[in-house]
Structure 1
Amino acid sequence: MKTYFGDREKCYKCYRPASSCMCEHIHNVKTKTKFVILMHPKEFKKVKNGTGHLTHLALQNSELFVGVDFSNHQKINEIIESYDSYVLYPSKEALNISRTNPHSKRDMAIFIIDSTWSCSVKMLRESKNLQALRHMSFDSVKLSQFKIKQQPAEFCLSTIESTLSVLELLNKYEIENIEKNDLEEFLNPFEQMIEYQQQIIANPISNAVRFKRRSEI
């Protein structure tokens, strides 16, 4: 379904312009682990390259919330109480799941902050409930494929790439039982988004005309 934001038609699911909607490329993955994407308002406004929405749409057992201070957020606090909860954040005290099995007697909830590094620090500082949670990290052995965006460091990955790394490790420990094909297809919308943006960058004039004609149909 499409809707209008300002003077541009957008997809209300992936929040991208209708001309570059990525929903058809999303491959749904079912997990035992609950994933909670916490998106900074500035990230929510990005329509060209945000991957938080794509991550949420790809994970059946996930929720997405937009904000900065989640201290008194009822739903988030309920999740924290009901699950063995972690924040995916590479602190010195973080549980590195590349080296340690995060097995728990209860189902896990992993909170993923979708924001820049500086905004992520602010979100953790403002959200008192998140401060009480353990951090989780992993060894980044892949280079980001986010070719249209410069990452702050070589080891940094986009939200959807980081989530895939976590899924692969949870599968390794048999905490999850995700089919190989599901993991292989997980980055589909991300890869298609990158390809689309590269085409626009390579030939902006012809693509602008093409998408203008599409909007007139």
Structure 2
Amino acid sequence: MSRYCERCKKATKACICQWIQQLDAKTELWILQHPSEVKRAIGTARILTLSLPNAKLWVGEDFSHHEEINQLLAEPDRQAWVVYPGEQALPISSLTGEGTEQATEPKRTLILLDGTWKKAYKIWQLSSNLQQLPTVALDNVEQGNYRIRKSPKSQGVSTVEAGYLALTALEGDDDKFAPLIDAFNQMIEYQIQQMPQGVFERNYR
């Protein structure tokens, strides 16, 4: 028997498939994952790709000449934004009316950078094609629940939380995408339970 689940790629005893639900989102999520995140036991991007049939994931640091991504970005009916809190970033809530006046509904795409703040910044700096796209910031963030991974920003969130917040902001239905957060919370609780007694309290509270 394999030590790893073939579907979620996590250790069999930490498999998250039982908490995954298939969700229908009009918005495409593209996840650009830093290579250092691929084998992390607490990585959350997999929750998005398992739950959302139209989510895509690519691994790398510099996506400037990524053929598939550039071909998709070149499609005339595609609108794409990078979720990145730069100085020029628009609040994501301002996109709710985008495309509503067009005769045909555009392919609406949000690009998430999966990694620590330092790694996400590196992807952003290296990928010239991303820098040509408009950026949006999550203006509906309160406090992330990534309790076993510290962020240098008080409102830092995990990739799955960012996906959830982005989708609820654009499609206006918190309950519809709640299973993403439910699966995330179950995964976090499992990881906390595996820690030696007192480790979580000493390091993460």
TM range (shorter): 0.7 to 0.9
Residues 1:185 and 2:170 aligned together: no
User: Secondary structure of 2:190's partner?
Assistant: helix
| TM-fit CA distance, 1:186 | 2.0
Match of 2:68 in 1: 75
**Contact kept? 1:11, 1:18, Cα under 8 Å:** yes
Structure 1 segment 195-214 matched on structure 2, within 5 A: 195-201=189-195, 203=197
Deviations 1:22-43 (A, max 9, x none): 0111112111211101000001
**Contact kept? 1:27, 1:188, Cα under 8 Å:** no
Deviations 1:33-62 (A, max 9, x none): 11101000001121x210011122111111
Match of 1:84 in 2: 79
| TM-fit CA distance, 1:200 | 1.1
User: Secondary structure of 2:130's partner?
Assistant: helix
2:179 and 2:119 mapped to 1: Cα distance? 30
| TM-fit CA distance, 1:13 | 2.6
**Contact kept? 1:86, 1:136, Cα under 8 Å:** yes
Aligned letter for 2:59?
A: V
| TM-fit CA distance, 1:93 | 0.6
Deviations 1:160-188 (A, max 9, x none): 1111111111123xxxxx5x543222212
Structure 1 segment 152-171 matched on structure 2, within 5 A: 152-171=152-171
TM-score, length of structure 1 as denominator length = 0.81
| TM-fit CA distance, 1:107 | 2.0
Match of 1:6 in 2: none
Match of 1:38 in 2: 32
| TM-fit CA distance, 1:92 | 1.5
**Contact kept? 1:25, 1:188, Cα under 8 Å:** yes
* Bigger CA radius of gyration: 1
| TM-fit CA distance, 1:118 | 1.1
**Contact kept? 1:79, 1:109, Cα under 8 Å:** no
Match of 1:110 in 2: 110
**Contact kept? 1:96, 1:139, Cα under 8 Å:** yes
Two-structure CA RMSD over aligned residues (Å): 1.9
| TM-fit CA distance, 1:74 | 1.5
User: Secondary structure of 2:141's partner?
Assistant: coil
| TM-fit CA distance, 1:65 | 0.4
| TM-fit CA distance, 1:203 | 4.9
TM-score, length of structure 2 as denominator length = 0.85
Match of 2:22 in 1: 28
**Contact kept? 1:87, 1:111, Cα under 8 Å:** yes
**Contact kept? 2:124, 2:131, Cα under 8 Å:** yes
* Runs of 4+ with deviation above 4 angstroms: none
**Contact kept? 2:96, 2:171, Cα under 8 Å:** no
Deviations 1:122-160 (A, max 9, x none): 111211211111101121432111111212211111011
| TM-fit CA distance, 1:192 | 0.8
| TM-fit CA distance, 1:100 | 5.1
Aligned residues: percent identity? 31
